Amino acid sequence: MFTPRVALASLSGEADATWAENGAADAGAAFIGGVSLDAATRDAARQLVDRGRCEFLPSDPIAFITAELDALADVAITPGVNVRSTTPQPVRVVGERCARYNAILEINAHCRQDEMCTVGAGESLLQDHRDQLRELIKAGCAGGATVSVKVRAGIDGVDLTTVARTIADAGGKIIHVDAMDTEVSIEQIATAASELFIIANNGVRGHESVREYYEYGADAVSIGRPSTNQHVRRQVRRAAEDVFGTPNTDMELSYIQQ
């Protein structure tokens, strides 16, 4: 899917094209965003800003995403765009943009902020809005994009093996798992939906954590908050090259293998 098998996970209000380019020497993919697309999620994002959180709130989210992807067109990294939406139409449009730039479209089913969950976005897609998650995935696929879903383990009442099957059956290709200190969830997902490419996230800092996720069945790992730390990025890249056996000797390999 991408090499090295290291992704930079989206950071609200921080993960833009400049951030992705800064990490390109040590990662195979970078997910910009999250970007709220429709009225409900944009209103929720404004509420988050009002209480001090950093969010992307461009006047035109589609134009913003297009400009960010264009800025990464010549950077040797697979770009991804993490989006929040309660409606499928803008997801399809972003899917079209992602397809144009060979970028991954990532549905955010991970955000746990009350404002997002109340409107039916974020991790509520794993709970009370599973049908909506299915429609969002289908919309992204209809736009021509490779679709990932970012999920969180450890949510009461949520069986990630069932979620994984929902993702695969709807046409998704990637599941990006914040393991939340339940690394065994990676093994369970790998068993339930072996066709999905699994990116493991949470506590990825070096060889030990990369090796552990690999042994549980992950196909790649991602770095969250420390993605701005060059030392951590470099440690994880070296570990991934060793563990996954995918040395990044040719930076062109960082693009999605078509």
Closest of 93, 35, 84, 90 to residue 64, by C-alpha: 35
**Residue 251 included in any domain:** no
**Residue 169 included in any domain:** yes
Beta strand spans in 146-224 (E): 146-152, 174-178, 197-201, 220-223
Containing structural domain, residue 239: 6-246
**Residue 207 included in any domain:** yes
pLDDT at 258 over 70: no
**pLDDT for the residue numbered 181:** 84
> pLDDT of 206-215, one tens digit each?
999 999 999 9
> pLDDT of 159-202, one tens digit each?
999 999 999 999 999 999 999 988 999 999 999 999 999 999 99
Q: Count how many domains the chain has.
A: 1
Closest of 202, 114, 102 to residue 151, by C-alpha: 202
**Residue 257 included in any domain:** no
**Residue 253 included in any domain:** no
**Residue 242 included in any domain:** yes
Q: 50-53 long-range CB contacts below 8 Å, 24 or more apart? A: 53/12, 53/13, 53/113
If DSSP codes are grouped into helix, strand and coil, which group holds residue 39? helix
**Residue 258 included in any domain:** no
Closest of 159, 49, 145, 130 to residue 90, by C-alpha: 145
pLDDT at 228 over 90: yes
**Residue 144 included in any domain:** yes
177 and 201 in contact (C-beta within 8 Å)?
A: yes
Report if pTM > 0.85.
yes
Indicate the helix (H) or strand (E) that contains 48: helix 39-50
The CATH number assigned to the domain holding 27 equals 3.20.20.70
Closest of 2, 24, 11, 6 to residue 224, by C-alpha: 11
